[in-house]
Amino acid sequence: MATKGGVFRKPNPWTTAIVAVIVAVFFSFPYVVMVISSLKTRAEITQQPPDYLPTSPQWVNYLDVWGYQAVDPGQALLSSIVVALGATLLVLLVATPASYYVARYRFPGRMAFLLLVLITQMLQPTVLAIGLYVEFVQWKGYLVWLALILINAAFNLSFAVWIMQSFFASVPKEIDEAAMLDGLGRLQTMFKVSLPLVWPGIVTAIIFVFVNTWNEYAAAFVLRNDKLQTLPVAIPSFLGQYVKEWHFMFATAVVAMIPVIILFSMIEKRLIGGLTAGAVK
């Protein structure tokens, strides 16, 4: 709240805490419902009126789901991990030198290139579903993984280039020039000098690409392979025409969150640094 003289008064800490708790409860409620539902039986989930808590927690759901015949959660989990990691690594391999070059050199057509990169972000797999199917319909077996890696890398590359080039641009050119005067080449300067200074931006790009690929559904559904389908495509398969295995679906959804939670916990500090970089001078 503003006071006389244009000085802002600090908000009441109790008010801030209460608002934070309300926001946290609001956004975490669907996840709590998902975890609780994964511990119920199928009858408890579908009964009316519903019971909000399971009569007896069915931890065995997390074991029985791996033996379910109609869906193979283990294979789907492996497919998602391979595709997400592959797309993330490919994006980093391409976006790092591209963003470094764009940040360091003012070549003709630079702004047009950045604008074209940004425009590609508007084209989502859903819009290009028919084109993607025609292009990759002949890719069978494990080539489906490669197709999904290429598609997800292409659709996430633009954001990675934009975010990383802004971080490279924030590093003074004099640092690179000093390193080159000491005998380092251009690639050595990029890897040994510039990259350690832009880790927050790299981590931000990693999180964005990995989570987007992990949750991607449209392209994975169009190119789905019954044995190599990813988790977003496999999870709805628990809901058949006659039998709906809600408890298995919720259990698989909980398992699907674990790799993302692990990734966030590993690079949380660097991610926060990347999101807040430039906020304070």
- Which residues neighbour 271 within 8 Å (Cβ) at sequence distance 6 or greater? 200, 203, 204, 207, 264
Q: Render each residue's pLDDT in the chain as its tens digit; 281 residues.
A: 445 555 556 777 788 888 888 998 898 888 888 888 888 888 888 877 777 888 888 888 888 888 777 788 888 899 999 999 999 999 999 988 888 888 887 777 777 777 777 777 676 667 777 777 788 878 888 888 998 999 889 888 888 888 888 888 888 888 877 888 877 777 778 878 888 888 888 888 888 899 989 988 888 888 877 778 888 988 888 887 667 888 888 888 898 888 888 888 877 666 655 555 544 44
Residues 137, 222: Cα–Cα separation, whole Å: 9
| Buried-exposed string 26-40: b where 16+ CB fall within 10 A, e elsewhere | eeeeeeeeeebbbbb
Phi, psi of 125 (to 5 degrees): -55, -30
First to last CA, the chain: 23
Phi, psi values for residue 140, rounded to 5°: -110, 165
Asked if 178 contacts 148 with a C-beta cutoff of 8 angstroms, the reply is no
Q: Which residues of 178-190 are buried (b: 16+ CB within 10 A; e: fewer)?
A: ebeeeebeeeebb
Take residue 238 and report the two structure tokens written for it: 């628990």
Domain boundaries, the chain: 65-276
Instruction: Provide CB contacts within 8 A for 69, sequence distance 6+.
Output: none
C-alpha distances out from residue 25 to 14, 15, 18, 20, 177, Å: 16, 15, 11, 9, 50
pTM over 0.85: no
- Which is nearest to 157 in space by CA: 104, 111, 209, 215? 209
Q: Which CATH class is domain 65-276?
A: mainly alpha
